[in-house]
Amino acid sequence: MFTPNDKRYDKMIYRRCGKSGLKLPAVSLGFWQNFGYTSSFDNMEKMVHTAFNNGVVHFDLANNYGNPYNGSAEENFGRILDRGMREFRDEMCISTKAGYDMWQGPYGDKNGSRKYLTASLDQSLKRMGLDYVDIFYHHVRDPETPLEETALALDNAVRQGKALYVGISNYNREDTAKMLEIFRELKTPFVLNQPSYSILNRWIEEDSLDKLAIDEEFGLAVFSPLYQGFLTDRYLNGVPADSRVGKGATWIGDQLDEKMLARLNSLNEIAASRGQKLSQMSLSWVLHNKAVTTVLIGASRPEQILENIRCIENLDFSAEELKAIDG
């Protein structure tokens, strides 16, 4: 039986999603990696317990998360809920997404249709044993489906009581602005866009998506804040065999050249001067952007979660530090 920490809410910071009533922890736990059938169930359960016991109450999933089978992360999360956590459902914000290839045939490929999104959400709820999710996202823009159809499908999920809020992920500023207009006409509770963003990946600044979020009052839930592990101390002295780059488990491995290693070591020196690890400073830097509601971390063990949530202890940056990081 799971017994939560009585002081789990004492230190975590909670931020509002734009102008909505929904608050999320500054740090959320993502299930992209290490929650599939090939991972240790005991370890993933400990990671979820560790997160919850430290105020990380937002768990972010997707229909295709899990290795090697799509949906296995949601199934494992459902098992974790069944083993003593389901009674705390109302303390959690559970999100899932649909949009990438999921099942065979024209209705389960990369998709934004009403048919795909409706069927996928039903499947996700069944895998997790839930009546509803708190946030349902369209995972990636589908250029072959009209934005109106995708927006109506998300709105319909709310009207059916299967989702409380909706979001979009990997949408640029232009398409986000178009979706926002439709959602406002429908009065859909749209609260978040989920883009990638990090010290090494600043496309949302170049695209002005973060400015749009501030101006139009919706939140950003940022994924890959550590640039798939680059912005940790794992690669400061080369490539470990058991790392994501070493195992070939990332498509950006060829970027880890001598120039990148020099950049990472320089950033690590700035982090050390702030009394932080490189990963902690990198998360703090993302949260320093006023458009960001929460940063989504991944983890392979509970200790990583404890280490990363300490980023909230130092969220302030001097002008000199920001200049040095940009340099």
Query: What values do phi and psi take at 237, rounded to 5?
Result: -120, 25
Helix, strand, or coil here: 198?
Answer: strand
pLDDT along the chain (327 residues), means of 10: 95 98 98 95 98 98 94 98 98 98 96 98 98 98 97 98 98 98 98 98 98 98 94 80 55 75 94 97 98 97 97 98 97
Please report the pLDDT score of residue 275 as a whole number: 97
Radius of gyration of the chain (CA): 19
Partners of 219 in the β-ladder = 192
Which alpha helices (H) appear in the chain, and where do they start and end?
Answer: 41-53, 72-80, 114-128, 147-159, 173-186, 203-206, 209-216, 258-273, 278-288, 302-309, 319-326
Amino acid letter for position 44: M
- Nearest CA-CA partner of 145 in 109, 111, 194: 111
Interior angle at CA 133, CA 132 and CA 136, nearest 5: 125
Which residue is it, tokens 């794992």?
234
- Nearest CA-CA partner of 166 in 110, 126, 112: 112
Please report the pLDDT score of residue 232 as a whole number: 92
Say if CB 307 and CB 279 are below 8 A apart: yes
Q: Please, what are the domains in the chain?
A: 14-326 (3.20.20.100)
Amino acid letter for position 268: N
Please report the pLDDT score of residue 173 as a whole number: 98
Pairing between β-strand 14-16 and β-strand 23-25 as defined by DSSP bridges: antiparallel
Say if CB 250 and CB 229 are below 8 A apart: yes
Please report the pLDDT score of residue 256 as a whole number: 82
From CA 32, how far away is CA 194, in angstroms rounded?
13
Query: What values do phi and psi take at 293, rounded to 5?
Result: -85, -50
From CA 290, how far away is CA 212, in angstroms rounded?
11
Put simply, whether the predicted model's pTM sits higher than 0.85 gets the answer yes
Please report the pLDDT score of residue 255 as a whole number: 74
From CA 125, how far away is CA 39, in angstroms rounded?
22
- Nearest CA-CA partner of 203 in 320, 302, 211: 211
